[in-house]
Amino acid sequence: MGNDRLRLPGGFLWGTATSAHQVEGDNHNNDWWAFEQQPGAIWHGDRSGAACGWWREAERDFDLMRELGQNTHRLSVEWSRIEPEQDAFDPEAIARYRQMLGGLRERGIEPMVTLHHFTTPLWMARQGGWTNPLIVERFAKYARYVAEELGDLVQLWCTINEPAVYAAEAYLLGIHAPGHRSPREALAVLKNMLRGHVAAYRAVHAAQLYAEVGLVKNVRLFDPANPQAPGDRLAAWLMDRAFNEWTLHALKTGRLPFSVKRDDALAHSLDFIGLNYYTRDMVAFDSRQKLLTRRFPAPGAEVSDAGREGAYGEVYPEGLYRALKKVNRYGVPIYVTEFGLPDADDDQRPRFLLTHLAQVHRAIGEGVPVRGVYHWSLTDNFEWCDGWALRFGLAALDPRTGERRLRRSGELYAAICRENGVTPDMLEREGLS
């Protein structure tokens, strides 16, 4: 990397990201809580339980954010708390979220709020959840209410987190709630989520004229295992098309997947893109597989801790640069709304932070308008179907006692935030100079 200081622009946002169900605890009224009760649904039989205790005491982690020099935090609000029954909004839940958002602002931390991060109220899930087209107007009504009640505390809004991931893991692979395995349902869910994004975008802007509203897109890169093999090239192209381009193309052109009709509202519904990036896959055509492809890390590559399905992913810093260049085609500002890796003993995360932030600096130097980054996550938390086994936190968390212990990577990220970039000393300490 050389010995140059990798300074980021003035006003750059440095933060961490969380989601309500993973940190609040005792979310009994959504589809994920119900899913957790099914035998075998969660690795090792884990439950979210009290999670990180945020519903009672988020403020201690807000203090930690301030101590670590962070000036922003991305969190989600829980639809099932705010609207526990259809058309019945809970003023106590909104009051708690006002308290939390006010607490962030009092500490000099700019909140970014996500309206839907993988969880759906039980009353809506019983009506088909995101397979039911009626969810679009119901989600918009919820979004309008939240923006009216919280808009004086929030400027940055994300409508939906990772619609393609949600559709694939909840309705195609069946490893997320509600655990279905139907390509037809997965496609319907993706379309309804894109429509829901547009409806929520309009609803938030109707309540708060100068809000900035975006969608969070996970970009997972797919490279052909053998670039000379037509089958591998085709398989990689198809994976990229389905997982990345269907969503991004719809938001650019206004055309939903497999639709020739244009919806101008869809094509004008992004004030920014939230980019989540974790890894890439090498892709090989394999007629024996259900989706006719095999996906795996590059031979000899560094990989992160393994989850229930095997290795979580290849550690591939240049992929963040490539992902930023990919979404830059859509002509709006970008926030890196998640990047991180599971690393229980913290032997990879310090180097991961430096190498990935170098790629952010590289992209900005080439004109990509990156406004901020949010590391996933502040502390270890409940990682969906992998339960408590995968550790993504800058701080280690004991879910039984609630004790936090700052990792070395947390100390490094704090120094990066305070310096507004990466210094030569940081690189030298990690053997990267």
DSSP secondary structure string for all residues of 295-336:
EEPPTT--B--EETTEE--B--THHHHHHHHHHHTT-S-EEE
For tokens 């809506």, what's the residue?
Answer: 124
Residues forming a β-bridge with 375: 16, 339
Separation of alpha carbons 203 and 370, rounded Å: 26
**Inter-residue contact 180 to 170 (CB < 8 Å):** yes
pLDDT value for 91: 98
pLDDT value for 41: 97
pLDDT value for 230: 97
Separation of alpha carbons 166 and 141, rounded Å: 21
The whole-angstrom distance between residue 3's C-alpha and the CA centroid of its chain comes to 32
- CA distance between the termini of the chain: 6
Q: How far is CA 337 from CA 17, 75, 225, 391, in A?
A: 7, 10, 29, 18
Query: What sign does the CA torsion over 414, 61, 157, 164 have?
Result: positive
pLDDT value for 2: 52
**Inter-residue contact 143 to 159 (CB < 8 Å):** yes
Within a domain: 219: yes
Give the tokens for residue 64: 């930690």
Other CB atoms closer than 10 Å to residue 118's CB: what's the count? 23
To the nearest 5 percent, what fractions of the chain are helix, strand and coil?
40, 20, 40
Q: Which of 256, 278, 280 is nearest to 269 (CA)?
A: 256
Give the tokens for residue 93: 């839940």
Separation of alpha carbons 361 and 97, rounded Å: 34
The domain tally of the chain equals: 1
Other CB atoms closer than 10 Å to residue 44's CB: what's the count? 9
Indicate whether this model's pTM tops 0.95: yes
Host domain of residue 135: 6-429
- Helix-helix angle 246-253:163-171, to 10 degrees: 140
Separation of alpha carbons 150 and 261, rounded Å: 35
Q: Which residues of 357-376 are buried (b: 16+ CB within 10 A; e: fewer)?
A: bbbbbbbbeeebebbbbbbb
Q: E strands along 51-136, which residues?
A: 72-76, 110-116
Separation of alpha carbons 268 and 258, rounded Å: 19
Amino acid at 32: W
pLDDT value for 433: 81
Instruction: Please give the DSSP secondary-structure letter assigned to residue 241.
Output: I
pLDDT value for 311: 67
Grouping H, G, I as helix, E, B as strand and the rest as coil, residue 337 is strand
pLDDT value for 1: 57
CATH code (residue 66): 3.20.20.80
Within a domain: 1: no
Separation of alpha carbons 204 and 143, rounded Å: 6
Q: How far is CA 281 from CA 15, 197, 294, in A?
A: 27, 28, 9
Separation of alpha carbons 145 and 159, rounded Å: 13
Separation of alpha carbons 197 and 74, rounded Å: 18
Within a domain: 222: yes
Give the tokens for residue 31: 């589809």
**Inter-residue contact 278 to 349 (CB < 8 Å):** no
C-alpha torsion angle, residues 214, 142, 21, 309 (rounded to 10)? -60
Tens digits of pLDDT across the chain (433 residues) = 555 689 999 999 999 999 999 999 999 999 999 999 999 999 999 999 999 999 999 999 999 999 999 999 999 999 999 999 999 999 999 999 999 999 999 999 999 999 999 999 999 999 999 999 999 999 999 999 999 999 999 999 999 999 999 999 999 999 999 999 999 999 999 999 999 999 999 999 999 999 999 999 999 999 999 999 999 999 999 999 999 999 999 998 999 998 888 998 899 999 999 999 999 999 999 988 877 899 999 999 999 999 987 767 999 999 999 999 999 999 999 999 999 999 999 999 999 999 999 999 999 999 999 999 999 999 999 999 999 999 999 999 999 999 999 999 999 999 999 999 999 999 999 999 8
**Which residues touch 32 (CB under 8 Å, ≥6 apart)?**
21, 48, 118, 119, 176, 177, 384
Q: Phi, psi at residue 274, to the nearest 5°?
A: -90, 120
